[in-house]
Amino acid sequence: MTNSAAKQLSIVCFIDALGWEVLRGRQFLEDRLPHRRKLRSTFGFSSACVPSILSGLTPREHGHWSFFYYDPEHSPFKALKPLGVLPRSLVDRGRVRNQLSKLVKRAYGFTGYFQLYSVPFSQIGLFDYCEKKDLFKPGGLNRGENIFDRLEREGVPYHVSNWRQPEDANLAAVKADIEQGEIRFAFLYMASMDALLHQVGKASPEVDKKMAWYERELTDLLAVAERHYDSVRLFVCSDHGMATVHTHIDLMARIEALGLEFDKDYVATYDSTMGRFWLKTDEARRRIVAALEQEPHGRILSEDELRELGCDFDGHQYGELIFLTNPGVIIVPCHMGLKPITGMHGYHPDDPDSDACLLSNVPPPGDPQAITDIFHVMTAEAGVSA
């Protein structure tokens, strides 16, 4: 052992979208990770769930939910409005959007995950973006502290993956730090399962192949760690699961058919599973509510329900009216993508496909029931204040 004081290492491996229902019926590290829990997810997409995992806070508390929120006064995207005159067949191409996203990110100095997705350039100047900072750095949250704030303040030597890098690179990096024998805590970020599940769905044999790869790599990681530490505690966790998509609805067309004027009567943004609305006139409210109530594949969430979910925001910047689709239903086209996909998340946390997981080789500290409890597992493992 390089450092005789570094006798215990705790590793938290985050696998994006490794839901409880994705694990069901599959063999995955049962011998090495016998302690297995289903965790309730946070309502929203990864943009809400990951900050909740890293902080133990609800979206209301940390200020992260869907990427785009209504704030025309402070929108950094007004300069993009002239692009709205260009043919959408050009500016909505994936490669074009990706390159523009990189340019905008660099120009504004954003360090977090950033994508323009398919928000129309004629409308994007009405919105701001919630993840301007790197979530995996101290000070990365809009409000509150994350686990890395605590680790830095209390001087705990740790490793955290670079989320921009592929999984092979992140595995190599954490092994290199483990071999030095100086860290006490490691957070390993593995993101490609989410993309695979979106593409092929949770029942695909491709998912079995990916699970087998994770099993081999984590077994090898444990072997490396056990050569350098007396005690290695491994926790595998996720943020949500993945539902199989069976129905597409064109919610945008339904609302546009009402004859209301965008930005004068209402503003809306359409995520894959949500329509979020800001209503400027009583007539717009009446017509839009009536139209949404006629849509059989979803429902309007009440203020009380949003409060219970921790997604009631002061000023309604993320939407004053939220329409959520039923599990397995997606909005196509939407501002997150213009084409159908096979798997989706972002449904109500009550849906079984929303459930996340926590797997470990030791009993987890506390009694974790939700993904916000992963933060408390991490603070206990790292020996820092919660």
Q: Which CATH class is domain 8-57+134-243+349-382?
A: alpha beta
The domain defined by 246-340 folds into Gyrase A; domain 2 (3.30.1360)
Burial of 101 (C-beta count, 10 Å sphere; 0-12/13-18/19+)? middle
Indicate the SS3 state at residue 81: helix
Reply yes or no on whether the pLDDT at 5 is more than 80. Answer: no
Q: Are 20 and 355 in contact (CB under 8 A)?
A: yes
Mean pLDDT of all residues in 289-311: 98
CA distance 160 to 174: 8
Q: Are 185 and 158 in contact (CB under 8 A)?
A: yes
Reply yes or no on whether the pLDDT at 38 is more than 80. Answer: yes
**Looking up tokens 């397995």, which residue turns up?**
328
Indicate the SS3 state at residue 83: helix
Residue among 146, 362, 141, 371 nearest 238 (CA)? 371
Instruction: Give the pLDDT score at 84.
Output: 82
Q: Are 92 and 338 in contact (CB under 8 A)?
A: yes
The pLDDT tens digits for 318-345 are: 999 999 999 999 999 999 999 999 999 9
Of all residues in the chain, what percent carry a pLDDT higher than 70? 98
Peptide bond into 333 cis (omega under 30): yes
Considering only CA atoms, give the Rg of the chain: 22
Helices (H), 79-145: 88-91, 94-108
φ and ψ of 274, to 5 deg: -135, 140
Instruction: Give the pLDDT score at 93.
Output: 84
Reply yes or no on whether the pLDDT at 85 is more than 90. Answer: no
Mean pLDDT of all residues in 178-196: 97
Q: Are 130 and 66 in contact (CB under 8 A)?
A: yes
CA distance 181 to 176: 9
Q: Measuring CA to CA, how many Å separate 331 from each of 90, 158, 346?
A: 22, 41, 12
Conformation bin of residue 25: beta by default, left when phi > 0, alpha when psi is -120 to 50: left
Q: CB under 8 Å to 348, separation ≥6 — which residues?
A: 43, 324, 327, 354
The pLDDT tens digits for 86-115 are: 887 787 888 889 999 999 999 999 999 999
Burial of 356 (C-beta count, 10 Å sphere; 0-12/13-18/19+)? buried
Q: Domain residues of the chain, as ranges?
A: 8-57+134-243+349-382, 68-129, 246-340
Residue among 234, 185, 247 nearest 362 (CA)? 234
Question: What pTM was estimated for this model as a whole?
Answer: 0.96
Reply yes or no on whether the pLDDT at 166 is more than 60. Answer: yes
